[in-house]
């Protein structure tokens, strides 16, 4: 419990401090100064229109990716599994690429075309994965599902590259940048839209810890202990995919968070999912908020992709943790 | 040699590999940075042509436009897949683009001069082996437009026409410059791409290159003038903190309807505090002349001027 409170505190502090720091110095008193109209208060505008949605997006995406990483690693019984493994991420990318290349300009409740198409793409990929998971004969190993995921990812990525190739140069620039991930969401509606599926997924995952503990050891022993393995797998697959789709459609693929944060957290709190799940969600949020803070300030005013920071910081740190306790 | 001594070399292996790898990387990077003769911009191959080139293939739309504007258009036998102007290029065979040149088609056109980008190393090697002369184009700033026209003219032994065209462009640009002399320069942001329907992934002209030069020439103060890059990706925060007084959003490729343009302008209202948004000075300008640094820079400069100093 104390550990969880620690992770919660870390996430809160990160979310509270990050909006105050950035490439432009802002004055907190002037941010909340009501005597100046909002339209004239640049400090308040930078805080509320630029930084706050961005920090919240980072927290949401970090949390969603870390949670789905935990669930996929347990479900597939593979430490290398990540939110990208089953092709949901590639489906989201394909959706976004199509929206960019076709210059789609639809809008739903304030959410622009690219995140909409991206989320639709992730649902499409989930449908394929789900159909394959149901079709797989009882008792066959999760390796089959894993390999199917690799094949789907390869296929969808090939289509992504084809779409990029036929698009014109400006669209190719846009799509290449989309594939590097960005948390500068620019407004609140996409954030709210991503929060809904993520919250639903997190609620579903809250029912899973015990089953994940047993399933990650082996489906036979789980079944022997009275777990409805098939149902648990279904809930796990859908909730983790939804969270991934929401995260990727909001920010694009952000490398590394989904695979490494779960491991980092397990090294600290142990293997029980009752602890690992909430701790990973909180730590994922804090981690991505801090990485994005670095991405937007280190070379200011030029920003670089947050995925670069997550990998550069997370990689060596993870290696150190891994080899420290041999 | 058993025991710890036997193990030691193996322990050093990772360090050795790391050092070797880092050194290799450094060497490769340094070669990219140090300008070699090979990458020197805008020089024809050492074995310059003794005769006038009469069959020219151009991978560079800006140079294609220059060739036509100096009256040498009838010598162009092939153009890139991105050439759209002047109208006559649409009838010419397309030979691919910057990253996907079609060497076979180039060779089949039997050119005696190929206009290439300096970065098309592979293509340049193939043309060298085929003994075909090249002109290396490098995309930099506004002054390079007329430099390139004169250099191409010299290569074609077409000096007079090329020089007349270049001087004319310089004169017209100078007229625009004089018109804005002494006037207040509005802080200007020129955007050439962003995610459809939102203010995300805004790509804008930085403080270097042909668009930057055009902003300054047409009487604006580039809000990103201090960022020495040709293109900058802007966050919402940067737009707010830099507070441009005029925003010019460029569109090219296809014409846009009035409604589409109004919609693009309206999307900026998500950042209401930016002076350009508050004062209704968000402009959408459609035209390829803003992305092709050829003879139409004059048109681009004049159009930009109308939006900055009505």
Q: What domains does chain B contain, in order, with CATH numbers?
A: 40-175 (3.40.50.1980), 183-308 (3.40.50.1980)
Residues A132 and A144: their CA atoms lie apart, in Å, by 9
pLDDT at B35: 44
pLDDT at B40: 42
pLDDT at B293: 92
**Contact assignment for A23 to B237 by CB distance below 8 Å:** yes
Token reading at A81: 């599994």
> Under the phi-then-psi rule, with left for phi > 0, alpha for psi from -120 to 50, and beta for the rest, what region is A139?
left
pLDDT at B50: 58
pLDDT at B61: 94
In order of B3, B19, B20, B24, the CA distances from B16 in angstroms are 21, 5, 6, 12
Who among A23, A182, A302 is closest to B232 (CB)?
A302
Residues B301 and B214: their CA atoms lie apart, in Å, by 6
CB pairs under 8 A between A and B: 107
pLDDT at B36: 42
pLDDT at B156: 92
Instruction: Provide the CB-side half-sphere exposure for A182 (13 A, CA).
Output: 24
List pLDDT tens digits, range B178-229.
Answer: 999 989 999 999 999 888 888 888 999 999 899 999 999 999 999 999 988 8
Summarize the confidence of residues A247-264 as an average pLDDT: 89
pLDDT band at A31 (very low <50, low <70, confident <90, very high): confident
**CA nearest to A179 within chain B:** B201
**Contact assignment for A178 to B195 by CB distance below 8 Å:** yes
| Contact in structure between B276 and B249 (CB atoms under 8 Å) | no
Other CB atoms within 10 A of residue A279 CB: 26
* ipTM value for the complex: 0.75
Residues A100 and A96: their CA atoms lie apart, in Å, by 6
Q: Does A54 touch chain B (CB under 8 A)?
A: yes
Residue ranges for chain B with pLDDT beneath 50: 1-4, 6-7, 34-49
| CATH number (domain holding residue A299) | 1.10.3470.10
Q: Does A143 touch chain B (CB under 8 A)?
A: no
Q: Could you tell me which residues of chain B have a Cβ less than 8 Å from any Cβ in chain A?
A: 82, 192-201, 203, 224, 227, 229, 232-233, 235-238, 240-243, 252-253, 263, 270-273, 278
| Contact in structure between B135 and B113 (CB atoms under 8 Å) | yes
List pLDDT tens digits, range A40-92.
Answer: 778 888 888 888 999 999 999 999 999 999 999 888 888 888 888 888 999 99
Question: Whole-model pTM?
Answer: 0.80
**CA nearest to A41 within chain B:** B273
The C-alpha angle with vertex A234 and arms to A120 and A200, in degrees rounded to 5, equals 55
* Residues of chain A found within 8 Å of residue B238, distances taken between Cβ atoms: 23-24, 301
Who among A40, A49, A169 is closest to B271 (CB)?
A49
Residues B3 and A288: their CA atoms lie apart, in Å, by 46
**Contact assignment for B233 to A177 by CB distance below 8 Å:** yes
List pLDDT tens digits, range A122-174.
Answer: 999 988 888 877 776 555 567 778 888 888 999 999 999 888 888 877 788 88
- Residues within 8 A of B (CB atoms), A 33-52 only: 38-42, 45-46, 49-51
Instruction: Give the rounded percent of residues in chain A with a pLDDT score beyond 90.
Output: 25
pLDDT band at A185 (very low <50, low <70, confident <90, very high): confident
pLDDT at B213: 95
pLDDT at B1: 43
**Contact assignment for A187 to B199 by CB distance below 8 Å:** yes
Q: Number of folded domains in chain A? A: 1
Read off the DSSP letter of residue A49.
Answer: I
Residues A32 and A191: their CA atoms lie apart, in Å, by 23
Token reading at B194: 């962003």
Domain extent, residue A256, equals: 2-324
């Amino acid at each position: 419990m104390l550990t969880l409170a620690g992770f919660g505190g870390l996430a809160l502090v990160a979310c509270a401090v990050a909006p105050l720091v950035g490439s432009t110095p802002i004055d907190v008193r002037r941010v909340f100064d009501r005597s100046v109209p909002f339209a004239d208060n640049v400090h308040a505008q930078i805080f509320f229109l630029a930084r706050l949605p961005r920090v919240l997006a980072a927290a949401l995406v970090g949390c969603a990716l870390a949670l789905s990483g935990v669930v996929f690693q347990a479900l597939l019984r593979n430490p290398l599994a990540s939110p990208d493994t089953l092709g949901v991420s590639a489906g989201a990318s394909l959706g976004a690429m199509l929206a960019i290349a076709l210059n789609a300009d639809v809008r739903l409740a304030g959410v622009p075309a690219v995140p909409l198409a991206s989320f639709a793409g992730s649902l499409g990929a989930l449908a394929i994965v789900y159909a394959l998971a149901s079709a797989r004969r009882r008792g066959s190993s999760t390796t089959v599902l894993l390999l199917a995921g690799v094949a789907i990812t390869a296929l969808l990525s090939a289509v992504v590259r084809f779409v990029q190739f036929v698009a014109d140069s400006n669209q190719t620039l846009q799509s290449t940048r989309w594939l590097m991930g960005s948390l500068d969401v620019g407004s609140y509606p996409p954030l709210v839209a991503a929060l809904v599926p993520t919250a639903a997924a997190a609620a579903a995952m809250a029912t899973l810890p015990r089953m994940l503990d047993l399933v990650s050891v082996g489906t036979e022993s789980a079944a022997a202990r009275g777990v409805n393995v098939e149902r648990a797998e279904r809930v796990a697959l859908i909730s983790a995919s939804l969270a991934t789709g929401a995260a990727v459609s909001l920010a694009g693929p952000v490398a590394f968070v989904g695979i490494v944060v779960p491991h980092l957290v397990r090294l600290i709190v142990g293997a029980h999912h009752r602890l690992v799940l909430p701790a990973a969600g909180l730590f994922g949020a804090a981690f991505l908020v801090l990485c994005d803070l670095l991405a937007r300030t280190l070379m200011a005013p030029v920003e670089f992709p947050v995925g670069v920071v997550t990998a550069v910081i997370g990689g060596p740190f993870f290696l150190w943790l891994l080899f420290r306790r041999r | 040699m058993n025991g710890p001594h036997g193990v030691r070399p193996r322990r050093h292996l990772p360090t050795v590999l790391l050092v070797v790898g880092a050194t290799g990387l450094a060497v490769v990077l340094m070669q990219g940075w140090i300008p070699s003769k090979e990458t020197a911009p805008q020089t024809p191959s050492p074995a310059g042509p003794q005769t006038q080139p009469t069959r020219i293939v151009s991978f560079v739309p800006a140079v294609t436009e220059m060739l036509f504007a100096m009256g040498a258009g009838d010598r162009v036998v092939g153009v890139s897949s991105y050439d759209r102007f002047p109208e006559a290029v649409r009838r010419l065979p397309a030979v691919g683009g910057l990253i996907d040149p079609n060497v076979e088609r180039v060779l089949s056109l039997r050119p005696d001069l190929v206009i290439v980008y300096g970065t098309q190393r592979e293509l340049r090697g193939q043309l060298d082996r085929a003994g075909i002369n090249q002109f290396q184009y490098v995309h930099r700033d506004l002054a390079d437009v007329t430099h390139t026209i004169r250099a191409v003219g010299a290569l074609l032994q077409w000096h007079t026409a090329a020089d007349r065209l270049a001087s004319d462009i310089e004169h017209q640009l100078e007229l625009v410059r004089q018109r804005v002399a002494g006037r207040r320069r509005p802080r200007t942001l020129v955007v050439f791409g962003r995610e459809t329907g939102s203010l995300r992934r805004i790509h804008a002209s930085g403080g270097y290159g042909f668009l930057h030069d055009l902003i300054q020439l047409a009487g604006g103060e580039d809000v990103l003038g201090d960022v020495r890059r040709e293109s900058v990706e802007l966050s919402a925060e940067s737009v707010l903190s830099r507070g441009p007084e005029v925003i010019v959003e460029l569109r090219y490729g296809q014409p846009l309807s009035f409604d589409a343009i109004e919609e693009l302008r309206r999307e900026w209202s998500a950042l209401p505090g930016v002076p350009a948004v508050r004062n209704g000075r968000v402009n959408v300008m459609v035209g390829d002349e803003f992305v092709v640094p050829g003879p139409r820079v004059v048109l681009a400069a004049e159009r930009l001027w109308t939006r900055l100093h009505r």
